[in-house]
Structure 1
Amino acid sequence: MDILYRTILPIWLLLILNIDGAIVPPPWANPNNNPCATQPGGWQLLYWPIDGKCYKIFHKGYPCPESMELTPGANMTAECRCPPGSAQNPQDSLCHRLYSMGPCKQGEYFAPTNDYSSEHRTQRQRWGSCLEVEPCAKIGTLFWPREGRCFPSYTQGPCPGGQLFAPGYPDSPIGECRCDNNGRMGRFFWGGSGTCHEHYTPGPCQEKGTLFLPDGKCGCHSGLQQYHEESNQCYQIGTVGPCRPGHHFLPNKKNATGMELNHAQCQCKDGHILWKDDGICYRPFTRGPCKQGEMFNINYNGGNTTTSCVPIPCPSGRLYFPGGKGCHRVGTQGPCPPGQVVLFQDSVKTSVEGISYQGMCGCAVTSNDPQSFYPTLRADNRGVHTDRCLANGRREDSNLIVPNGEGRGNGVTLNGVNCGLRRGLITWSDNTCQQLYTQGPCKDGEWVVPDRQGGQRRGRSWRLGKCECRSGYETVVNEDSGEVTCQSPAVRIAKFLNTESQKNGSFLTN
């Protein structure tokens, strides 16, 4: 459940329906429970029984503790909770911003937790505790507690556009998404929009072929490594830039004399090979430039590399291993070392590069992983440095779980059943079947839809499902935590009307 609904709901914030000119009030605007509802604009007011006064919804501070805000409770009466993106610390009973230092000591961050007494768990409040920061291996990187990963400082990293990943305070090991015109961050600040951008990226620049430079201006000149002579424009390193498909605009390509070129050049992406007939780079063992039923093949003959289109060598359900190792079924040992199995190549972006017919060896994950297209047969990185897999690293095909599509992802074992063959169902990342366009395993405000970008077609349907905001709901990024939520139209209306009333100075408390 997302931050917005943990901290503000699970009551409907507002339901305004235009039915024959009538306005349906929100649940808490019932005069039987909320005497304030009878006042002008009373749907925005909540009754506080201790002093018998009316206070505006989402009001922060008194009558609540300083760090809490007033919200409707489950029984439609006023209660105090931590604002979205924050949690209560049991040591000081105050609300602190999640994934920041908060009340913690140096080298720690404040994170959500459910590890409290049964007395605390019966309350609707969200709790937090202090956790140690995991040290980053590379110099110049900071820890991002939301994902447990490290990103380079003063880059966009995990942040939305217009913000950079930077320490929250001097010498902090924790990064946060922010933008201001102070200190080092000021070097990346663009005053026109009040946003921050990495240097040598398009950033705020409107003119095509210009980059945001360290002098704080947009420009392009031949002295930059990012300069492209043919177009007389500049492009960000590591992007497609002016290149053909399958290429990246990269530096340090050496010419025939062994001297490094001053400017970046279009080079095939890692793992791609140039097809000279059309000048595009393709990943070997995908369809590539070949016709239906063929595979883009690579041959190594005496140190020379040649490419060609050959018939797909393996039947459906089997993957190809070059070097005369043949075709092998996914999940079997095949040509792999003892303890490893044949796996799909997770590194291949099927939506861009097409299906790869080449297999790989690795340890199979036994737990469900929503990040993997093939979660039960994904390479387990815990064994990458050895030829041995951890115990129980393989899962038999007969044990795949496929549900009946009912409820919130509770599956049953149905051997041999394919979700795609059932109308209205789609395969989920844990190999269960989910009903399309229902909430299923998704958060509040989301529903199950086909993944048309990350999935693959099976006949006329899509193999894999994903969560997406329901129709009419708006995708919102929390400024404090960076968490993405789906906000209902009712919430937007409530906040808009609150803002308008504040401007007009109306609906004051008693």
Structure 2
Amino acid sequence: MILLHCLACLVAAAMGAVLPPPWADPSQNPCAAEPSGGWQLLYWPDDKKCYRIFQRGYPCPETMELVPRPDRKGSAECACPPGSVRSARDSRCHQLFRLGGPCEDGQYFAPDLDRDDRERWGTCEDPLPCAEKDELFWPKDKRCYRKHSRGPCTEGQLLVPSTMNSLIGDCRCENVPDLATYFWAPTGTCHEHYTMGPCQERGGIFLPGGQCGCDPSLPHFHNGTGKCYQLGGIGPCSPGHQFLVPAGGSKAECTCKEGHIKWFGDGACYRPYTRGPCAAGNMYSVNTTATGMAVGCVDIPCTAGKLYFPGGKGCHRVGTQGPCPAGQIVLFQDTVKTSIEGVSYLGMCGCANSDAAAGTFYSSSAALACKPPAAARKLPQQHDGRGAGASPRRSDALLQPQDPCGHRRGTVAWTDLSCKQLYLQGPCEPGEWVVPDRGKGTRKGRGWKMGKCECRPGFTAVPVPGDANNATACQPPTVTLAKFLNMSDEFNHNHNNHNNNATAHGNDDDGDDDSGNNNGVRTR
């Protein structure tokens, strides 16, 4: 009862802090004064009537809905529902990335990125061919995934050929011959073979027979624990490792993840140029010597806002040209998961007008062609006290990146130098929203900040089971509450059974309990 009361107080406090939307102002929206609707009604100037927000159809076209106009408080406009855009072929709204619709057979409906209209439009595209025969094309990210893998699908579904185009993937799970060996009857879900899948017991994997188990003949078997683990995950290994079959081997072993080096102090693997196992103010350093590789902790070589380039290239401010080829600028490492590995003090070169090449520390102009700024000139290098050959202070505005948001409040710059609205999902995953990145080196120019993705309030970051990169997902509060309630129900169930047994058999004077005291949690 106390917990529920506290939750009710928090909800009430949160509701008290909610600000009304702009169209709730009667001076801007005459319909806001209506007793039957308030802010749920929008004013349509053509007929001077009030209509319910998000109403589909009249006064809008059949496939569009009524929404507040963002640039005019209290005014309404017609727009396509979320996830859909208009087609120039019929001016109707169609779901994005769907086959058919306004498109020819075998084509899919994609966003039209060539149009600069404020209104969103789509275009018909053909699927790109995949390199491997057993791969399927996924229109949303234009990548290919292996058939019968989870790929881009949600948990419990697998990628199968679409019924409208066998080259395009579709996420499904059915107890049909094509998916029979992947089907798990207790939950009606489908899972990849040799993964954790629906298996609850640690050390068991989902086998082709549709059951959870382990066999010593499998490469997934670990001799030390006598259990099986999914390949590519952390398995029985220390942090920073992956459980993989080495080249030429037949059994999986614990090896450092790509880009990580083992620290023999604790046996874990860390990414160089992050804090790693070191104390605050230090970074994990790796140097190749004549006798081998030397690892250790050294002082962070750069001041805040600058990134380190090895090989005598020194420290350079993010967003400047630094030691990069013409047209490229100093960027943060885009392959580092800061929530897991910490902040990387190592810089990389990339284009200011496109995504940088992933996984590279220094990209040559041959490997990464960028459009150089018009009339750009390279100024003489100046010496930085914290590193040789550091970038000078440039007066040339063409070589100094400008704030893409124009110092607008409530916005932050993104890694691709676009502008994102704060506290919306934006480019983030479900359960996340855009927040300012307050880590070292994220402040730019005259104070504008970069953005990052973070779990929304009430959501909890939890590891993704079996993910090779130890990724996390934001778990909604309903799941957390459900787990709490399940534990409470289980505790009450076990507690009642214990009391009933005690009543039926009397007190046990010697204090022994054959069932063991598990505090109401079922042991396995």
C-alpha separation in 1, matches of 2:276 and 2:80: 53
Amino acid at match of 1:105: E
* Pairing 1:6-405 to 2, within 5 Å after superposition: 68=63, 84-91=82-89, 96-101=94-99, 102-113=101-112, 127-169=121-163, 172-252=166-246, 260-261=249-250, 263-291=251-279, 292-293=281-282, 295-302=284-291, 305-309=292-296, 311-312=298-299, 314-316=301-303, 317=306, 319-321=308-310, 325-330=311-316, 331=320, 334=323, 344-359=332-347, 362=349, 364-367=350-353, 383-384=366-367, 390-392=371-373, 398=394, 399=397, 400=400
**Residues 425, 436 of structure 1: 8 Å contact kept:** yes
**Residues 275, 307 of structure 1: 8 Å contact kept:** no
C-alpha separation in 2, matches of 1:266 and 1:284: 19
Q: Which residue of 1 aligns with 2:522?
A: none
Structure 1 residue 464, shift from structure 2 partner: 3.8
**Residues 155, 164 of structure 1: 8 Å contact kept:** yes
C-alpha separation in 2, matches of 1:189 and 1:296: 47
Aligned residues: 407
Amino acid at match of 2:351: V
2:413 paired with 1:428: yes
Deviation sequence 1:367-426 (CA, Å, 0-9, x none): 275x999xxx996798417xx7653499996544565xxxx93338xxxxxxxxxxx989
SS of the equivalent of 1:326 reads coil
Structure 1 residue 248, shift from structure 2 partner: 0.4
Amino acid at match of 2:144: C
Evaluate the alpha carbon distance shift between residue 64 and residue 224 of structure 1 in structure 2; reply closer, same or farther with a 3 A threshold.
Answer: farther
Deviation sequence 1:100-157 (CA, Å, 0-9, x none): 22342345211234878x9xx79x8x65331232222333222222222222222222
Structure with greater contact order relative to length (CA < 8 Å, sep ≥ 6):
1
Deviation sequence 1:478-504 (CA, Å, 0-9, x none): xxxxxx9xx9xxxxxxxxxxxxxxxxx
Structure 1 residue 288, shift from structure 2 partner: 3.1
C-alpha separation in 2, matches of 1:226 and 1:82: 49
Structure 1 residue 328, shift from structure 2 partner: 1.8
Larger CA deviation: 160-169 vs 90-99: 90-99
Amino acid at match of 1:269: K
Structure 1 residue 329, shift from structure 2 partner: 3.2
Q: Which residue of 2 aligns with 1:478?
A: none
C-alpha separation in 2, matches of 1:344 and 1:72: 38
C-alpha separation in 1, matches of 2:60 and 2:329: 58
Evaluate the alpha carbon distance shift between residue 326 and residue 194 of structure 1 in structure 2; reply closer, same or farther with a 3 A threshold.
Answer: same
Larger CA deviation: 226-235 vs 86-95: 86-95
Evaluate the alpha carbon distance shift between residue 64 and residue 207 of structure 1 in structure 2; reply closer, same or farther with a 3 A threshold.
Answer: farther
Evaluate the alpha carbon distance shift between residue 435 and residue 177 of structure 1 in structure 2; reply closer, same or farther with a 3 A threshold.
Answer: closer
Structure 1 residue 338, shift from structure 2 partner: 7.9
Task: Report the TM-score when normalising by structure 1.
Answer: 0.59
**Residues 64, 93 of structure 2: 8 Å contact kept:** no
Amino acid at match of 2:132: K
For structure 1, the 5+ residue unaligned runs are 1-16, 20-25, 28-32, 47-54, 255-259, 413-423, 475-483, 488-510
Q: Which residue of 1 aligns with 2:511?
A: none
Evaluate the alpha carbon distance shift between residue 394 and residue 56 of structure 1 in structure 2; reply closer, same or farther with a 3 A threshold.
Answer: same
Structure 1 residue 209, shift from structure 2 partner: 1.6
Structure 1 residue 250, shift from structure 2 partner: 0.2
Evaluate the alpha carbon distance shift between residue 238 and residue 463 of structure 1 in structure 2; reply closer, same or farther with a 3 A threshold.
Answer: farther
Identity %: 40
Q: Which residue of 2 aligns with 1:50?
A: none
Deviation sequence 1:207-251 (CA, Å, 0-9, x none): 222111111111112122111122122111011111011210001
C-alpha separation in 2, matches of 1:114 and 1:463: 27
Larger CA deviation: 72-81 vs 89-98: 72-81
C-alpha separation in 2, matches of 1:469 and 1:356: 21
Deviation sequence 1:448-467 (CA, Å, 0-9, x none): 52448xx55879x9964336
Structure 1 residue 442, shift from structure 2 partner: 8.6
C-alpha separation in 2, matches of 1:44 and 1:426: 27
C-alpha separation in 2, matches of 1:233 and 1:327: 48
For structure 2, the 5+ residue unaligned runs are 1-13, 17-22, 25-29, 43-50, 380-392, 461-472, 477-524
Q: Which residue of 1 aligns with 2:406?
A: 410
Evaluate the alpha carbon distance shift between residue 379 and residue 147 of structure 1 in structure 2; reply closer, same or farther with a 3 A threshold.
Answer: farther
Deviation sequence 1:427-452 (CA, Å, 0-9, x none): 53269999996669899x99752448
Evaluate the alpha carbon distance shift between residue 59 and residue 198 of structure 1 in structure 2; reply closer, same or farther with a 3 A threshold.
Answer: farther
**Residues 351, 370 of structure 2: 8 Å contact kept:** no
SS of the equivalent of 2:435 reads strand
Task: Report the TM-score when normalising by structure 2.
Answer: 0.58
SS of the equivalent of 1:192 reads coil
Evaluate the alpha carbon distance shift between residue 382 and residue 91 of structure 1 in structure 2; reply closer, same or farther with a 3 A threshold.
Answer: farther
